Structures are given as C-alpha cells and as structure tokens.
Amino acid sequence: MNEINSPAEFDRTTLREAVRTPSADGGSGKPAGAESLNRVARQTARRLAQESYSPSIITGLLRLAEFLLMALVGAGIYAFYVGLSGPTSAYYAPAIVLGAALSVLGLQIADGYQVPALRAGIKFFPRVIVAVTAAFAVLTVSGFFLQYSVYFSRFWAGSWLVGGIAALFFWRLFVAFAIRRWARNGVMERRAVIVGGGTLAESLIRSIEHDPSNDIRICGIFDDRSSRRSPEVVAGYPKLGTVDELVAFARLARMDMLIIALPLKAEARVLELLKTLWVLPLDIRLAAHADKLRFRPRSYSYAGAAPLLDIFDRPITDWDSVAKRIFDVFFSLLAIALLWPVMLATAIAIKATSKGPVLFKQKRHGFNNEEVEVYKFRSMYTEQSDPTALQQVTKDDPRVTPVGRFIRKTSIDELPQFFNVLLGSLSLVGPRPHAVAAGTHDRQFTEVVDGYFARHRVKPGVTGWAQINGWRGEIDCDDKIRQRTAYDLYYIENWSLLFDLRILFLTPFRLFDTENAY
C-alpha cells in the first residue's frame, strides 16, 4: 500500500472549493419537501427529531462533576475534622482546589473519560484508584518540597483520599448505568446516515458495529441507484430514499454525520453528491476503509474502527455551541437592560401614531432551514403589512408609517429580536434571517444563489458579517443576495467568539450608514 503525505489526487481544500462553484445549470439546491419522503423515512425522522448530546459534551460535564465531587469531599472532611477557623485555614482552600484538579487530570491521563471506560463501571475502577492515588502523591510531594506540608492535617489528607475514592466508586456506578441507558435511549450518540449502498456500505457498517468503543448510530441508507445495484436493506439497515430525499430527511431529523460510501476513484460522482449535500449542517465524511490508497494517519477521523476522510465539518458544535449560547444570553440581557427605555419609547410612539399591534411577527428561515417566528417593531400600516415579504420595502414606500421610517433607518425596529435570542430561535451574530418567500423580482433567493441554504448551517443572527460590510437594506438585484451569501459563508467558515465580538462591537458604528435602509 502506498502512503501519501501530500495527496494531489485528493486535495480536500480544492474539493471544497469545487463543491461551491455554481453548477452550469444554475441549480438552486432547493431541498425536496417532507412530503417526498416515504413512510419509513418519515417515521425514522420523527423518532430522531429529538436532539442528542455529543459524547464530548457529556464527558466534559463529567469532568466538571468529578472535580466538584472531590472538592466537596475534601471541604466536607475539613469542616468536620479541622474546623472552619484556625491559623492554617487559608492553606486548605487552594490545596482542595489543586487536589481536585489533579485528580481529574490523573483520570484524564488514565483515559478515564473515554466512553468505554465510563460504561465499564467497576471493571475500570482499579485504574481510577491508581489515578487518584497518584494525584494525591503529587500533591503530597509538592507540599513537602515547598515546605507547606506542616500546615495540613495528615488525618484530613488520608481521609480525603479514602473518602474521595469511595465517592467516585458510587458516582461511577451511577454514571455507567446512566450512559448505558442514554445509549439505549439515543440521548448520547452520534447519528449518521450513509450515502451509497451495496458491499462497500455493508463492510463500513460491519466495521463500525464491531468496535466496542463505537458511539455512532447508523440511522439509514440513501442511494439513487436501483434496487438491483443497491439492495433495499444493507446489513439490516433500510434504504430510506434518494440523495435528494436525504436533504429533506436531514431537515426533519437531528443528525450529526453523513458518510459517503463510494470509492475515491468515483471522483465525479462524489463531487456531484457534495454539491447537493454540503448545505446541510452535518459532518460530511468519505469512507476510506476499502481503498488501497493510504494517507497520513492525521488525515483520518474514525467511525468506530473505520477510517474516514473529513470533507466538511459541522460548524459551531459541542463546547463551541455552549460558549456561543452563553455569549448570546449575556449580551442580549445586557442590551435589553441598556436599551429598554428606547424600546418603551418606540412602543409608545407606534401605538400613539397608528392603529394596530406594536410588534410585527414574520416567518423566516432559521437553523437547518426550519421556519422561525421573528419579532420586530411594526413599521408599516397594519392593513398594508406584508408578512410574506413578497413585496420588499422600497425608498419612500407609502406602506411605511412616519415612525416606521425612522426606526427602520436606525434599525430600532430590530430590537425585539433580542428576545428571539433569549428564546433560542436566533443568535446574536449570524447570517440575517430572510423571510420564507423573499426574493428578487420574480425569483426566490434559492433560485438566484447556488447553495443558498448553506447559510442556514448555523442559527441566523440579529447582526452579521454581511451587514457590517454594507450589505443591509433592500435586495433589489441578484448581485446583492449573492454578496450577502458570500459574506455569510465566510462568517460560518471562520467563526470564533472573537469574530462575534468584533462584529458586535462594529455594529453600532455601521448603523450610521443608512443609504440602503428604508
């Protein structure tokens, strides 16, 4: 077998760029609707509609829980035996924090947070004892050489070690039971669908299932080929539909990964599939278990024991999504606390100058192309409002009220969307959500921009990279939506909390540019 260090035959960066190149026929990439799915596919999608939790999130929380458990045991024994007051009490708090942290680090080094170890329970516990004992040995030796050991009670230290191990024993028994239950119930798993059937898909499934540490659940197979070339059932898993129907399936089911089970030599077919599938918010992988061509080990990720080549990564996942959610909630609450007088004054002005509700609600595209209801201050006369946005607001539009004209230019009409952020349907920063029926002239955006739905791989935002670069307001020509989409995709692929903070900081300054806002 040949091992390739810099494979020209399979340059993933070039492949990704090729996927984003508009197709010759100007295809929209518009997904088939849920009604196109067969009965089995719809039933499967409904079963998978609930969100699962990735193993990295679960194990991260377990690290935190075990740190707190060890710290509480140490603090409890200290309070009971030593007492909360005394000349040496100032030394115990940092020792407790350090001891708990070293215990978690020892368990990490001993692979104690791998899913098989957590599932094993008692079988793995001897390594837990060794890891925690080693952590306490490091703590004791450090205290001796730093001449701090004289300040601590030996009985407290020994009791903490024994008590901590005992607490971890019962805790790990509970965790093992919980993880096995979560695995059965689908709470803790990575859900995957396979594109491509036949013997290649069957060998991939067998390879995944035979790995005891596997956390991947195969949910079905999609293939365009007839049943003669691609059986209706492969390794016990049904063929749920075609590739086009997979896009509709992924809009309904909460999936994590898509694995293309085609040989690397089928380059044209792989590229054709990726042009359809890259708009989905999934990890997209290419199975490499049956190919004789071998890249460097770092080139692969694994599904069970099966090597996969990473083509696209799902954006903003795991702890990144947690950090972004904390960012959203914190800054939204801060904005509401600072801007509530402006919102109150706006509500009074709207109510005093025109009939109708203060708020206007509109259906827009959200994450994974789901429809979300977005709040705005009403800026148009109630009887002339256009919830579908079939007719965009233009300069000096007679439908807009005098108050509405001002709040639209200053973007005050968008302030209620901070409540959308708190409810979780929007993010603070992201691609701006467009109305479901929005378009330019007589064409919807999906017909103008190839791969338009790729901007929905993350939650839409109150503000975004396109808006602070001048692409806000009326979309009266095809180039404007193309430019907005290009900026949105750049944001998705280069996301970081610092990037979000930069966009948030620049947004108030960009609001002074009101040329296209009316």
Pairing of strands 359-365, 371-377: antiparallel
Q: Confidence class of residue 388 from pLDDT cuts 50, 70 and 90?
A: low
CB-based burial of residue 335 (10 Å sphere; 0-12 exposed, 13-18 middle, 19+ buried)?
A: middle
User: How much is the pLDDT for 513?
Assistant: 64
User: How much is the pLDDT for 460?
Assistant: 93
Q: Is the dihedral of CA 251, 257, 261, 262 positive or negative?
A: positive
Share of the chain above pLDDT 90, in %: 26
Residue 218 placed within a domain = yes
Q: Confidence class of residue 26 from pLDDT cuts 50, 70 and 90?
A: very low
pTM of the model: 0.78
Answer with the residue of higher pLDDT: 51 or 508: 508
Comparing CA positions, the residue from 518, 510, 437 lying closest to residue 474 is 518
**Residue 348 pLDDT > 90:** yes
Q: Examine the domain organization and report whether 38 and 158 are in the same domain.
A: no
Select, from the ranges 238-252, 423-437, 494-508, the one with the highest average predicted confidence (pLDDT).
Answer: 494-508
User: How much is the pLDDT for 9?
Assistant: 42
Secondary structure class of 284 (helix, strand, coil): strand
Q: Examine the domain organization and report whether 346 and 493 are in the same domain.
A: yes
* Tens digit of each residue's pLDDT (9 = 90 or more) over 286-311: 887 655 555 555 567 777 777 888 88
Domain end residue (candidates: 314, 344, 372):
314
User: How much is the pLDDT for 6?
Assistant: 39
Number of domains in the chain: 3
Angle at 317 between CA 316 and CA 322, to 5 degrees: 90
Residue 515 placed within a domain = no
Q: Confidence class of residue 167 from pLDDT cuts 50, 70 and 90?
A: very high
Q: Examine the domain organization and report whether 276 and 264 are in the same domain.
A: yes
Which residue shows structure tokens 């609600």?
A: 361
The residue-averaged pLDDT of 70-95 equals 80
Comparing CA positions, the residue from 272, 273, 265 lying closest to residue 193 is 273
User: How much is the pLDDT for 344?
Assistant: 95
Q: Examine the domain organization and report whether 359 and 279 are in the same domain.
A: no
Comparing CA positions, the residue from 164, 143, 159, 165 lying closest to residue 80 is 159
CB-based burial of residue 254 (10 Å sphere; 0-12 exposed, 13-18 middle, 19+ buried)?
A: middle
Q: Examine the domain organization and report whether 294 and 356 are in the same domain.
A: no
Angle at 15 between CA 466 and CA 309, to 5 degrees: 110
The residue-averaged pLDDT of 239-251 equals 86
Q: Confidence class of residue 5 from pLDDT cuts 50, 70 and 90?
A: very low
User: How much is the pLDDT for 14?
Assistant: 56
Secondary structure class of 125 (helix, strand, coil): helix
* Tens digit of each residue's pLDDT (9 = 90 or more) over 327-347: 999 999 999 999 999 999 999
Q: Examine the domain organization and report whether 324 and 463 are in the same domain.
A: yes
Lowest mean pLDDT among 76-90, 169-183, 355-369, 459-473: 76-90
User: How much is the pLDDT for 10?
Assistant: 47
Cα–Cα distance for residue pair 481/471, rounded to 1 Å = 9
User: How much is the pLDDT for 108?
Assistant: 92
Q: Is the dihedral of CA 352, 357, 359, 360 positive or negative?
A: negative
Output the average pLDDT for the chain.
81
**Residue 7 pLDDT > 50:** no
Residue 481 placed within a domain = yes
Residue 417 placed within a domain = yes
Q: Examine the domain organization and report whether 350 and 477 are in the same domain.
A: yes
CB atoms within 10 A of CB 309: 20
Q: Examine the domain organization and report whether 301 and 363 are in the same domain.
A: no
Comparing CA positions, the residue from 108, 114, 312, 283 lying closest to residue 214 is 114
Residue 407 placed within a domain = yes
User: How much is the pLDDT for 201?
Assistant: 85
Q: Examine the domain organization and report whether 504 and 361 are in the same domain.
A: yes
Select, from the ranges 44-53, 58-67, 87-96, the one with the highest average predicted confidence (pLDDT).
Answer: 58-67
Buried b (16+ CB within 10 A) or exposed e, 24-35: eeeebbbbbeee
CATH of residue 236: 3.40.50.20
User: How much is the pLDDT for 3?
Assistant: 41
Q: Within the chain, what is the greatest distance between any pair of CA atoms?
A: 83
The residue-averaged pLDDT of 22-42 equals 60
Buried b (16+ CB within 10 A) or exposed e, 176-193: bebbeebbeebebbbbbb
* Tens digit of each residue's pLDDT (9 = 90 or more) over 453-493: 888 889 999 999 988 888 776 676 777 888 888 899 999 98
CB atoms within 10 A of CB 289: 19
Residue 194 placed within a domain = yes
Query: Residue 239's domain spans which residues?
Result: 3-49+189-314
Q: Examine the domain organization and report whether 308 and 330 are in the same domain.
A: no
User: How much is the pLDDT for 23?
Assistant: 47
Q: Examine the domain organization and report whether 140 and 199 are in the same domain.
A: no
Q: Confidence class of residue 35 from pLDDT cuts 50, 70 and 90?
A: low
DSSP class per residue in 333-372: HHHHHHHHHHHHHHHHHHHHHSSS-SEEEEEEE-GGG-EE
Share of the chain above pLDDT 70, in %: 83
Cα–Cα distance for residue pair 301/299, rounded to 1 Å = 7
The residue-averaged pLDDT of 62-72 equals 94
User: How much is the pLDDT for 399?
Assistant: 86
Q: Examine the domain organization and report whether 499 and 399 are in the same domain.
A: yes
Select, from the ranges 366-380, 410-424, 463-477, the one with the highest average predicted confidence (pLDDT).
Answer: 410-424
**Residue 51 pLDDT > 60:** yes
Domain end residue (candidates: 133, 156, 185):
185
Structure tokens at 502: 């930069």
Domain end residue (candidates: 147, 165, 185):
185
Residues facing 308 on adjacent strands = 287, 301
